[in-house]
Amino acid sequence: MSAARVVLWRHGQTGHNAADRFQGQLDVPLDDVGRRQAHRAAEMLRGLAPTRIVSSDLSRAADTAAALAALTGLVVETDTALRELFAGQWQGLTRAEIESRWPQEFAAWRGGDDVPVGGGERRSEAGRRAAAAIGRHAAATPDGGVLVVTGHGGALRGAMLHLLALPLAAWSAFGGLANTHWALLVPRGTGWSLAEYNVGPHGAHVGSEG
């Protein structure tokens, strides 16, 4: 590992977040609130002196990352492996619609079971995928650098558990990352330690993960 710090930064609000709709890998853009959130959070993150920005290629993440790039002069690199978990048939639906149509599956997911979300990916699968990508980018960041990874609530939380060597059962011990909030990881021995969690501008809410 070469990066001195890794910031896991969730994208700004979208219309689907506001309506409590599952996005998954749908390419839903930031809404006006999300764009303002991204600019406020970018002002805060600039103080960490980032040296690299890597983002999911989905526009809500890439456009959030672009707000930080505009302040720092850095180029946003995109990586499809940082996409949100694929939520299958649940994508685009509200929680109420999902619970009505798949009550048992929804209850299992809400209870923390590692089920294929909407017949798509499991939390563990999305977490491993994103964690592997973050590990690659951290290793490729020059010594002492600060890597900002811009992504999605579900994938980033799953990746964080993998990077901290925590079991998936620890999922519910962490609240969801609010829009444009982040977790800060620092190296410890051969692994990572959590230095900050759910830091960001006031007024953002969690919305749907996935």
Using a 10 angstrom Cβ sphere, with 0-12 exposed, 13-18 middle and 19 or more buried, the burial of residue 142 is: exposed
Q: Which of 11, 16, 137, 181 is catalytic?
A: 11
> How do strand 182-188 and strand 5-10 relate by DSSP bridges?
antiparallel
Query: What is the SS3 assignment for 16?
Result: helix
> Could you tell me where the beta strands, DSSP code E, fall in 42-181?
52-55, 76-78, 146-151
For the question of residue 84 being annotated catalytic, the response is yes
Q: Which of 84, 105, 121, 209 is catalytic?
A: 84
Query: Which residues lie closer than 8 Å to 25 by C-beta, 6 or more apart?
Result: 58, 83, 84, 85, 86, 87, 91
> Could you tell me where the beta strands, DSSP code E, fall in 34-190?
52-55, 76-78, 146-151, 182-188
For the question of residue 11 being annotated catalytic, the response is yes
User: What is the rounded distance in angstroms from the CA atom of residue 147 to the CA atom of residue 150?
Assistant: 10
Q: What are phi and psi of 166, to 5 degrees?
A: -100, 150
Write out the catalytic residue numbers: 11, 84
